[in-house]
Structure 1
């Protein structure tokens, strides 16, 4: 099965793939699996429908609104570059 655990939450190199996003408008919380091969620049909140976009200086919605930054940032590399 490669580096991903059965629950999809972490890879063997310690990179977490699960992250919990919190909508800044309504507070809705959702746990999502972050991709390792793409950036997520837009995310539609399931609570209020707000389209979340990265904050200035952040590379993706996970780095702006989630409790765990995206995999490239966790590895100390550039995201989406």
Structure 2
């Protein structure tokens, strides 16, 4: 199914004729009817990752920030002659 909101075929189910791996990822060559084929990046279909799937959660970013702060302050202490 085409999921890209601005694609003219959004919401339509198309038959996948071929899958091609390109430098940018997978693309699907699909039959759009009347002998017309359409090439769709995986992310524009229901076979792509769900929105937000690859994003960091705020909890994870908070923990990462605390870790970076701790490591940075530890580095400052070590340069000033403190124990590590």
Give TM class, smaller chain. under 0.3
Normalization by structure 2: what TM-score?
0.26
Greater helix fraction, Structure 1 or Structure 2: 2
Greater strand fraction, Structure 1 or Structure 2: 2
Higher RCO (C-alpha 8 Å, min separation 6)? 1
Normalization by structure 1: what TM-score?
0.27
